[in-house]
Amino acid sequence: MKNTFGSSVSVTIFGESHGTMIGAVLDGIAPGIAVDEEFIAAQMSLRRAAGSISTARHEADNVRIVSGVFNGKTTGTPITFIIENQDTRSRDYGELAYKARPGHADFTASVKYHGYQDFRGGGHFSGRITAGLVAAGAVAISALKEKNIRIGTHILSCAGVRDRGFSGNPAADIDKLADSAFAVLDDSVRDEMISRIEKAKSNGDSVGGRLETAVTGLPAGVGEPWFDTLESVLSHIIFSIPAVKGVEFGDGFALADMTGSQANDPFCSQDGNIATETNHCGGILGGISNGMPIIIRTAIKPTPSIYKEQNTVNLNTSENTTLVINGRHDPAIIHRARVVLDSAVALCLCDQLALRFGTDWLTK
Amino acid sequence: MKNTFGSSVSVTIFGESHGTMIGAVLDGIAPGIAVDEEFIAAQMSLRRAAGSISTARHEADNVRIVSGVFNGKTTGTPITFIIENQDTRSRDYGELAYKARPGHADFTASVKYHGYQDFRGGGHFSGRITAGLVAAGAVAISALKEKNIRIGTHILSCAGVRDRGFSGNPAADIDKLADSAFAVLDDSVRDEMISRIEKAKSNGDSVGGRLETAVTGLPAGVGEPWFDTLESVLSHIIFSIPAVKGVEFGDGFALADMTGSQANDPFCSQDGNIATETNHCGGILGGISNGMPIIIRTAIKPTPSIYKEQNTVNLNTSENTTLVINGRHDPAIIHRARVVLDSAVALCLCDQLALRFGTDWLTK
Amino acid sequence: MKNTFGSSVSVTIFGESHGTMIGAVLDGIAPGIAVDEEFIAAQMSLRRAAGSISTARHEADNVRIVSGVFNGKTTGTPITFIIENQDTRSRDYGELAYKARPGHADFTASVKYHGYQDFRGGGHFSGRITAGLVAAGAVAISALKEKNIRIGTHILSCAGVRDRGFSGNPAADIDKLADSAFAVLDDSVRDEMISRIEKAKSNGDSVGGRLETAVTGLPAGVGEPWFDTLESVLSHIIFSIPAVKGVEFGDGFALADMTGSQANDPFCSQDGNIATETNHCGGILGGISNGMPIIIRTAIKPTPSIYKEQNTVNLNTSENTTLVINGRHDPAIIHRARVVLDSAVALCLCDQLALRFGTDWLTK
Amino acid sequence: MKNTFGSSVSVTIFGESHGTMIGAVLDGIAPGIAVDEEFIAAQMSLRRAAGSISTARHEADNVRIVSGVFNGKTTGTPITFIIENQDTRSRDYGELAYKARPGHADFTASVKYHGYQDFRGGGHFSGRITAGLVAAGAVAISALKEKNIRIGTHILSCAGVRDRGFSGNPAADIDKLADSAFAVLDDSVRDEMISRIEKAKSNGDSVGGRLETAVTGLPAGVGEPWFDTLESVLSHIIFSIPAVKGVEFGDGFALADMTGSQANDPFCSQDGNIATETNHCGGILGGISNGMPIIIRTAIKPTPSIYKEQNTVNLNTSENTTLVINGRHDPAIIHRARVVLDSAVALCLCDQLALRFGTDWLTK
């Protein structure tokens, strides 16, 4: 399978940056879930994140649901979301048909697809394709919320500025993040992050960052020892989001420098439930959820589209050359990517929950 | 699918730490590959890594191949590897039937399997189960080597001591690592790492570390834009290895703090091939290999089995209690895990190559 | 996976009979295949099969390709086909919200989806959903044809009237079938078949029939011994076509009454190739193609929508009741189904060929 | 995936006819199911079916369970069954290394595996490999029985002699079949069937037949509209059993000659449940179980190993030649195959039930 993720609940995405339409098919989601078109539009808007630090391309991103919803609720059969591309300026990309942009998929796509790929605006590799994922993810997020499973992602760091991490009670943090166009937990860092993005933009450059995601309310017992550990399936979908180059759970790479006595989370009895005193493991033990919050951190590389001159190769002649990219680009995508993270995590968890508890578990 | 990974080339693993046998079924590997039983034994030995810094449990780990090999070569049909468990002392684990060990899967397994799981020695969650993966992986490693695709993993850091990273030409580094029982690139750091592991052991504690893996010779054009990016499928299998809590590609999390002009790898023409001047992306662009070395770093948490007293819960009564683990354990697994990494990566790449180029591509 | 079929090449279908749009996503098909929109339209027209013996519902079935095709050729990324529903008369179906139509999925859908399914016109269970399959299948059929792999299906029997079977050289037969609106090999049986369908219609009844499919030019060596035998994967997709209740390969059920000496196909050397003197096995031995024509026969049950009064149950009250179906229906679908068969077989074979020979095999 | 079937509950099989061991890995089956080794042995014995009408090869078929069972119950992790091959006489097969046996997979295997396959006794294509399926299937059958889901298969026809079909109440029929070494519903036909098999044997020939399978107690609502209809997934596994060339559900091919008013099963209210007055559809509507008995008929071709001289080709020289097969063979396998059918159906249904109702549904 290629553009389809998931087993019991699956999502299929399609489209190109400058094609007619992009979209997604969400299949296997339980019947009877209320589909809130306003929430979908709000999520699309968070992903779009128009403004000085985003691309000048303006897409309305009106999502049409053309199947799978009846009387405002999911039917249990495939839900199809389509979004028309409107503001495409393909003439911007002429030279890019043969000059591979560093950091982009132009070269690897040309090898894989023998030059037949739609290269305009990155084609099927474009971050624009995440719009379909966000539309499908909005339904998954709503369905999980009804089961009191909440997901939230914030910008843990951007251009070297660091937000605080999730508190010991991430549910309150998640509430705070919900509608934020530039989601940080510590409001005092926002302006500095934005100012550094603007500075990079004015330099013709771009920045990256780190996202931190928390999931609360996930029941214990979800995931597999092999090979579909919860870390495995979550990282699988997260690493397919463009620009993601690192994923860690709980204390992640920092665990490498700890001792066992520091890293182990002691169990404790709490209101009749079994919990852990700390959460270094990020809510996953042996590949299976332990009922504590799931904590994920994701590295986002800086946007590869920059305005500086770069060395590259002419794919037609294999000769060295230079390239200056024009067109409209994002100096940062981290503020836009966080809703993509939420969506990807929600879709993955809906699949895991359906596999574990059956296809009706999310039905109201 | 649960204990099976891969689509065209797949591996299925089975067994418990204190059960009768553990093993693996490797399916879909191309016919005609020479099966080198000495190499398999050598890999098993590297995984076993007996010595002062490893568990006192001694398993011969004789691998029997009971199907799929005929006249010394793969047939194309499933290859089954079985390994008998010999040195099991299940009496060591009596109390652990109801006291969940912190950092282990005891609690999550009991929720998922309702108490029916084989809890002895961690059962199916034990690192011992990686022995089957290493046996199957040895065949994959050999097959890839015939195609000049080489894989090597070293201990990038352990207990706070850091090895140097791979050089710009990792092929030479990989050669150096091949037979090392404690694989580091800079020989001068080995003793300090081992000494810190021994110190942790004498404290009844344990340590973790970081592994760095390089793959050379992988052709460009392998992987998918969505959802089976090369990062996705590699991280999927890597995150199923016990104790892995973080995975990054190329400069990974460090990319988050770079600008686009620092992070982008300029393309250049090199001996008629297209290469990149730097390799911050770790050989993967848009989810697809670009022909440069694949670089992966993996965080290994400290072994959760420690001898210090720990807080936990009695799973029968849900009451708080304490636990002291006896039995035989590893103060570190990082030196043993590196051959598991090589195996997992090799199995994943064999699958990706068969999907890309067909089921015969590895046939001699 | 539910509404997605295939591994390397996959198709995902969506939509409901009376919804906004139906369609399909074809993923993984090789890049560089010419997409012939006229051929797609012609296939849609064969499926639509307007006339006295088909439903009075008239759908233009204009297929829009909104992704995956660039400069008239496949890009290698998902191709999305959308078709608007235009001639829906949902008021015809009022009573059917709670009275289960015998032979239809109304009851099983209401159990599975707890009443949330779109029941109008059979919703997602409608034969109308095959339109997406035919659109996607048209691209697959074209691609296979370029490799000299040809597929054809004729009406072997209908309402008790029998066509002749494929000749020993089915390639010529396949040519003859290509554009036929009512595909039989022996032209003399067509009128009698149609006349019996019309008679059933005038009785308020319906008829079924048998389809026979031949595939020529498939290379030997495609398929698996277990569990993805060529029969397994072909029957898997064929049995998902509504109304199919039986599938057989070669002499199929008739083999049950033969002896081994009658049933075995002797091998012979033919122009340097190895062939068989007879083809009782339908071109598949041990689950793998042997280079001879693949022969498949499929049983199509009579259309369950009839105008006679039928006994049924009120799903709201669980009381016995009777039902008279109004609305527009097909007295036979066999003449429309044959192009669906061709499409399903083509999609399945593209997947098998890509798995066997790699993702580029169909690239021109 | 190749030698693995199933998604939530899966089975992987391995081994060759004359290899060291054959077996299976059953994964994902619910924890807490009692494993009855006597029942497994009884099923193996029914499959072995020693006697005048079966092969002279005598295998003890002792099944060792080496993982996944703890304290007599399933753990939820992979259950591995191994069976040693004991009575192999590989010298019988010398000439068969290069002369393809008609009706066997020798030729197709040699194309697919380029001559590297283990050709001895049919290797991995041998019916002997079904022994692993029967061992795994026995656990599935036991688990389903605890949920009152019963499966039974009888010889509907053999060598032209016909048994009666299942009655309207197949549960009683299933009881009758359970321990029968030659399973027919009408005892009066058994001797004639056996006598015709013996006659074929004395002629150096072989016979085929039809199997009919019933499943009772399956809840309504299991299966999918597309592409995993219950017919699709059942036929997928059934068509992977060697010698199967046709599968039909309910009245199957006979439905092709019926009218809609004859074929539709009227619904009726029965003891508060919704049932159908007839069962022409074999318990499946729209790909989903309707709560009535599932009825499947399967065509088994005559055993291809016969003692008569046959035309074939020398695979080394591509020249025409003749072949006389010696060795030990079955003049019929139909009486042995029926327990393989039960096993395959049980494994498939366990998967479908786990997908529908969650992984614990079968847990006691």
Measured between beta carbons, the chain B residues lying within 8 angstroms of C357 are 358
Cβ of residue D240 closer than 8 Å to a chain B Cβ: no
pLDDT at C204: 95
Cβ of residue D46 closer than 8 Å to a chain B Cβ: no
Of A16, A28, A80, the CB nearest to C2: A28
Report how far residue A265's alpha carbon sits from residue C247's, in angstroms, rounded to the nearest whole number. Answer: 56
The residue with greater pLDDT, B272 or C131, is C131
Tell me the per-residue pLDDT of D302-359, one tens digit each, with 9 for 90 and over. 999 999 999 999 999 999 999 998 877 789 999 999 999 999 999 999 999 999 999 9
Chain B touching partners, 3 or more CB pairs below 8 A: A, C, D
Question: Hey, which residues 73-92 in chain C have their CB within 8 Å of chain A?
Answer: 73-80, 82
Query: Which of the residues C67, C353, C355 would you substitute to probe the B interface, choosing the one with the greatest number of B C-beta atoms within 10 Å?
Result: C355
- Residue B121 banded pLDDT, cuts 50, 70, 90: confident
Cβ of residue B4 closer than 8 Å to a chain D Cβ: yes
Containing H/E element for A191?
A: helix A190-202
Minimum Cα–Cα distance from B157: chain A residue: A256
| Plot region of C114 (φ>0 → left; ψ -120 to 50 → alpha; else → beta) | left
Percent of chain D scored above 70 by pLDDT? 98
Containing H/E element for C193?
A: helix C190-202
* Position A89 pLDDT exceeds 70: no
pLDDT at B1: 64
Listed range (A178-182, A247-251, D205-209) with the worst mean pLDDT: A178-182
pLDDT at C179: 86
pLDDT at C30: 97
Measured between beta carbons, the chain C residues lying within 8 angstroms of B358 are 355-358, 361
Cβ of residue B278 closer than 8 Å to a chain A Cβ: no
Tell me the average confidence (pLDDT) per consecutive run of 10 residues in chain C, 364 residues long. Answer: 93 96 97 97 90 77 96 97 83 76 96 94 93 98 97 97 95 93 96 96 96 98 98 98 98 98 96 94 98 98 95 93 85 95 98 97 90
Measured between beta carbons, the chain A residues lying within 8 angstroms of D359 are 355-356
The residue with greater pLDDT, C181 or D262, is D262
ipTM for this model: 0.97
pLDDT at D246: 98
Residue D276's nearest CA partner among D247, D251, D248 is D251
Q: What is the largest CA-CA distance in chain B?
A: 70
Of B10, B76, B79, the CB nearest to D1: B10
Measured between beta carbons, the chain C residues lying within 8 angstroms of A11 are none
Q: What is the mean pLDDT of residues A83-90?
A: 80
A32's tokens: 């009877």
Of D107, D124, D157, the CB nearest to C225: D124
Sign of the four-CA dihedral B82, C228, D287, C85? positive
Cβ–Cβ of B14/D21 closer than 8 Å? no
Tell me the per-residue pLDDT of A5-38, one tens digit each, with 9 for 90 and over. 999 999 999 999 999 999 999 999 999 999 999 9
Q: What is the mean pLDDT of residues B268-276?
A: 91
- Helix extents (H) in chain D: 37-48, 106-112, 130-146, 170-177, 190-202, 230-238, 260-263, 334-357
- Residue B229 banded pLDDT, cuts 50, 70, 90: very high
| Plot region of C68 (φ>0 → left; ψ -120 to 50 → alpha; else → beta) | left
C228's tokens: 């993805």
Query: Which of the residues C8, C9, C35, C66 would you substitute to probe the A interface, choosing the one with the greatest number of A C-beta atoms within 10 Å?
Result: C66
Report how far residue D348's alpha carbon sits from residue D240's, in angstroms, rounded to the nearest whole number. Answer: 12
Chain C touching partners, 3 or more CB pairs below 8 A: A, B, D
Residue B52 has what DSSP assignment? T
Cβ of residue B327 closer than 8 Å to a chain D Cβ: no
Tell me the per-residue pLDDT of D137-178, one tens digit each, with 9 for 90 and over. 999 999 999 999 999 999 999 999 999 999 988 999 999 998
Cβ of residue D283 closer than 8 Å to a chain C Cβ: no
Cβ of residue A132 closer than 8 Å to a chain C Cβ: no
Of D107, D207, D229, the CB nearest to C259: D207
Q: CA B22 from chain center: how many Å? A: 17
Minimum Cα–Cα distance from C352: chain B residue: B358
B246's tokens: 């973080």
Cβ–Cβ of C355/B77 closer than 8 Å? no
Q: What is the mean pLDDT of residues B15-23?
A: 95
Cβ of residue A356 closer than 8 Å to a chain D Cβ: yes
Q: How many CA within 13 A on the CB side of residue A154?
A: 30
Residue B3's nearest CA partner among C146, C310, C55, A224 is A224
From residue B9, alpha-carbon distances to A232, B312, C331, D233 in Å are 18, 41, 47, 22
- Residue D89 banded pLDDT, cuts 50, 70, 90: low
- Residue A92 banded pLDDT, cuts 50, 70, 90: low
One-letter identity of residue C146: E
- Residue B86 banded pLDDT, cuts 50, 70, 90: confident
- Residue D37 banded pLDDT, cuts 50, 70, 90: very high
Residue A97 has what DSSP assignment? G
CATH for C9-357 (3.30.1330.90, 3.30.1360.120, 1.20.210.10, 3.60.150.10): 3.60.150.10
Report how far residue B209's alpha carbon sits from residue B76's, in angstroms, rounded to the nearest whole number. Answer: 37
A113's tokens: 């697809």
Cβ of residue C364 closer than 8 Å to a chain A Cβ: no
Question: Hey, which residues 291-320 in chain D have their CB within 8 Å of chain C?
Answer: 291, 297, 299-306, 308, 310-313, 315, 318-320
* Position A314 pLDDT exceeds 60: yes
Report how far residue C130's alpha carbon sits from residue C243's, in angstroms, rounded to the nearest whole number. Answer: 12
pLDDT at A169: 86
Q: How far is D86 from chain C (nearest CA, A)?
A: 23
pLDDT at B91: 62
CATH for A4-357 (3.90.1150.10, 3.10.20.30, 3.40.640.10, 3.60.150.10): 3.60.150.10
Cβ of residue B28 closer than 8 Å to a chain D Cβ: yes
Cβ of residue D13 closer than 8 Å to a chain B Cβ: yes
**Sequence-distant (≥ 6) Cβ neighbours of residue A22 within 8 angstroms:** A13, A14, A15, A16, A82, A83, A85, A128, A129, A131, A132, C67
- Residue D96 banded pLDDT, cuts 50, 70, 90: confident
Of A77, A225, A357, the CB nearest to D225: A77
